[in-house]
Every structure is written in structure tokens, then in C-alpha cells.
């Protein structure tokens, strides 16, 4: 811990615990109060098993190698059962409650006020969460412990700039990786509901359903959770929601789909029943067609996209 060169290292403990029994420390700092040395300290109880602490730490390190979106582990003092990690502002649940408490329940329950208010920050927080989980799954890994209290942290990257980071990955090795990956996606969907329907107790009533999230995020999660084996394609598409895409990427994707559906004036097999044109719905056993769309190279033949107006007709 290089901060010892500049003065004593201070930290305090909160009463909050992770699923593995670690206590979350408040922001640590050196005597000089230099932001360069701001960190967090996770303190496991004195009775915590050293082997469990070590496995927990190693699982966090492993996942952080897969993705930049995982909380960085800086130092583990196994004898004292303390881990020093990157600094963050709060956990996701604290962030939700902080935003919610600024207005009355009645105010937030009028129309889509809550979603309109949090939408921009929601996208900033959850886009790296999805990207990190996708990378972990593609490496045949899993999180195993997704929840809004300990596993998703909010990191401030500057004024108005937020970033979601994953941590508190389950330390036990579970042989059924596919089931653990499905559990990750089910829990992620539940967390999103907890966030976007906070004024309604986290439950989605049909009258206040947020169509944007259901059509451009949940349908892809449902595709992941559908029948059949969890494949790399399901991971790539299911954990890459259109909700987080820039408009330019949406247009490029739709151009690919348009060309593939209507090349040479006909609908080729196996594209015939791929898309329902009113919703982002995918029928069973269409992995081959979806792979053609998702993996299609935009530079293969530029002339394929010579009619940009066709994309708006498709849209």
C-alpha cells in the first residue's frame, strides 16, 4: 500500500455486508487528502474463513481480467482479512433511493416521470454492466451473485459522468455454468425492474410499462433465457441490448437486416421468419439466421447499402 509513504492510512467501516460476509469500508485517503489515493476497504469478519476470503478475492481478480467494467482489486491482506479496492461513490440501491427520495411518491407515479428523470444515468450505469457480463459469459464464466446491494457499484468519472462496475462475484465454483449464466440474466432483469419501477415497489404494472425497456432490452434478455442451449450467439445478442446502441449503430444494423431480408428482391432462407416487424421478437431455432445478421460485415460490399432511404422504410 503505497499510501504509507505519504502518511497514515485511514478508513472506517459501515454496517453493510456483502453476500460473502465482507464489510464495506468508507472512502480511504492519505494524510495529504490527494484524490489519487482514494480507495475502498473491504473488511471480512474475524471469524471469516481465510480460504473463503482468498477464493473471493481471486474470483474478483479473474473477472477483472475479462473486463474493464469490474471493480479493481488492489491489495489483499489475508492475515487481517482486508482487501483494498478501487474507489466508488455508492452501491446501486443507495443510488436508486437517493434519486427517489428527492421527490414525493405521488410525483414519481405520474406517467413516466421517474424513467424520464433517470434514463440518461441508467444508460451510463447499465451499459458497462451488460458489456462486462457479456465478456465474462463468453469466457465461460459467470457472476453468480447479482443484486442491487453489493454487486453493482456506481463510480463517478467526472461531473455528470457515471459508470457501473461489477463486483462481489460468487467465490464458489459451480459445475453447471450454463445454469449460472441463466441465473445471472434472470437476476439482471429483476434488478432493472427494481430500478425502473422504484416508485411502484419494483413491480411492473401493465399501465406503467416502459415500452422502450421492454422492446429494446427485455426481449433480448428473454431471447437469452429461451429454450435451447446457451450459445455464444445468445450471449452476444442477448447481452447487447439495442437500448444502449447509438443511433448510428441502430441504422447500420437495420441496413444489414434490410439487405439480408430483401437481397435480389426476395426473402432468403433462413431469414423468412426471423423478425416480427412490429417488435424485436425472435422465433425459436433461428440462431443461424440471427448469426448471419449479427456477424455480417458492413464492409463486404458497400453497394449493398446504396439506398439509405430504404432503412427508414424498414424502420
Give the domain ranges of the chain: 2-86, 92-231, 247-314
Span 125-154, mean pLDDT? 93
- The Cα-based distances of 194 to 101, 169, 190 in angstroms read 15, 20, 6
Q: Do domains 2-86 and 92-231 have the same CATH topology?
A: no
Residue 210: CA count within 13 A, CB half-sphere? 25
pLDDT at 285: 45
Cα–Cα dist 169/143, whole Å: 5
CATH code, residues 92-231: 1.10.510
Question: Which of 42-51, 156-165, 302-311 is the least confident region?
Answer: 302-311
Distance CA 230, CA 177 (A): 10
Q: Which three cell numbers stand for residue 275?
A: 423478425
Count of C-beta atoms within a 10 Å radius of residue 235? 20
By the 10 Å C-beta count (0-12 exposed, 13-18 middle, 19+ buried), 289 is classed as buried
Predicted pLDDT at 129: 96
Q: In the prediction, which pLDDT does 159 show?
A: 73
Q: Are 95 and 83 in contact (CB under 8 A)?
A: no
Q: What is the pLDDT of residues 238-291, one digit of tens each?
A: 999 989 998 778 777 777 766 666 655 555 555 554 444 434 444 444 455 555
Length of the chain: 315
Phi-psi region of 155 (alpha: psi -120 to 50; beta: other; left: phi over 0): beta
Contact 258, 298 (CB under 8 A): no
Confidence of residue 315 (pLDDT cuts 50, 70, 90): very low
Cα–Cα distance measured from residue 258 to residue 293, given in angstroms and rounded to the nearest whole number: 10
Angle at the Cα of 32 from the Cα atoms of 30 and 33, rounded to 5 degrees: 70
Q: Is the pTM value of this prediction over 0.85?
A: no
Q: What is the pLDDT of residue 195?
A: 94
Predicted local confidence at residue 12, as pLDDT: 43
Judged against a pLDDT cut of 80, whether residue 166 lies above it is answered with yes
CATH architecture type of domain 2-86: 2-Layer Sandwich (3.30)
Closest Cα to residue 122, out of 213, 246, 225, 239?
A: 213
* Cα 6 from Cα 132, distance rounded (Å): 34
Average pLDDT value for residue range 228-239: 90
Report the alpha-carbon distance of residue 112 to residue 235 in Å, rounded. 30
Q: Are 42 and 17 in contact (CB under 8 A)?
A: no
Confidence of residue 28 (pLDDT cuts 50, 70, 90): very low
Question: Mind listing the pLDDT tens digit for each residue in 196-218?
Answer: 999 888 776 666 788 889 888 99
Provide, rounded to the nearest whole percent, the portion of the chain with pLDDT above 90: 29
Neighbours of 213 (CB within 10 A): 21
Q: What is the arithmetic mean of pLDDT over 125-139?
A: 95
Three-state DSSP class for 182? Answer: helix
For 172-184, write each residue's pLDDT tens digit: 788 899 999 999 9
Predicted pLDDT of residue 306: 39
Q: How far apart are CA 140 and CA 173, in angstroms?
A: 12
- Cell numbers representing residue 134 in the block: 457479456
pLDDT of residue 205: 62
Q: Please state, rounded to an integer, the average pLDDT across all residues of the chain.
A: 75
- Residue 235 clears pLDDT 90, i.e. is over it: yes
For the sheet containing 90-91, what is the strand order? Answer: 90-91, 152-158, 161-166
Amino acid at each position: 500500500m503505497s499510501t504509507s509513504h505519504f502518511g497514515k492510512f485511514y478508513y472506517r467501516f459501515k454496517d453493510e455486508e456483502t453476500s460473502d460476509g465482507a464489510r464495506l469500508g468508507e472512502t480511504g485517503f492519505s494524510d495529504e487528502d490527494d484524490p489519487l489515493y482514494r480507495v475502498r476497504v473491504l473488511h471480512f469478519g474475524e471469524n471469516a474463513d481465510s480460504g473463503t476470503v482468498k477464493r473471493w478475492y481471486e474470483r474478483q481478480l479473474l473477472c477483472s481480467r475479462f473486463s474493464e467494467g469490474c471493480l479493481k482489486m488492489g491489495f489483499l491482506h489475508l492475515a487481517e482479512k482486508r482487501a483494498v479496492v478501487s474507489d466508488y461513490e455508492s452501491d446501486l440501491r443507495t443510488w436508486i433511493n437517493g434519486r427517489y427520495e428527492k421527490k414525493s411518491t405521488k410525483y414519481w407515479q405520474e406517467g413516466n416521470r421517474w424513467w424520464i428523470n433517470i434514463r440518461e444515468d441508467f444508460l451510463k450505469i447499465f451499459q458497462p454492466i451488460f458489456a462486462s457480463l457479456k465478456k465474462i459469459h463468453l469466457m465461460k464464466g459467470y457472476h453468480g451473485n447479482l443484486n442491487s446491494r453489493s454487486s453493482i457499484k456506481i463510480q463517478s468519472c467526472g461531473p455528470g459522468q457515471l459508470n457501473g462496475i461489477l463486483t462481489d462475484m460468487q467465490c464458489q465454483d459451480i459445475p453447471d455454468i450454463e445454469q449460472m449464466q441463466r441465473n445471472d440474466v434472470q437476476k439482471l432483469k429483476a434488478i432493472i425492474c427494481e430500478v425502473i419501477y422504484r416508485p411502484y415497489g419494483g413491480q411492473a404494472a401493465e399501465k406503467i410499462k416502459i415500452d422502450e425497456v421492454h422492446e429494446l432490452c427485455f426481449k433480448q434478455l428473454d431471447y437469452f433465457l429461451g429454450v435451447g442451449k446457451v450459445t455464444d450467439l445468445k450471449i452476444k445478442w442477448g447481452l447487447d441490448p439495442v437500448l444502449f446502441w447509438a443511433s448510428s449503430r441502430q441504422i447500420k444494423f437495420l441496413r444489414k437486416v434490410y439487405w439480408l431480408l430483401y437481397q435480389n428482391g426476395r426473402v432468403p432462407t433462413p431469414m423468412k421468419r426471423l423478425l416480427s416487424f412490429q417488435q424485436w421478437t425472435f422465433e425459436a431455432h433461428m440462431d443461424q439466421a440471427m448469426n448471419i445478421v449479427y456477424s455480417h460485415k458492413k464492409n463486404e460490399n458497400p453497394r449493398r447499402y446504396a439506398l439509405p432511404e430504404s432503412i427508414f422504410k424498414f424502420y
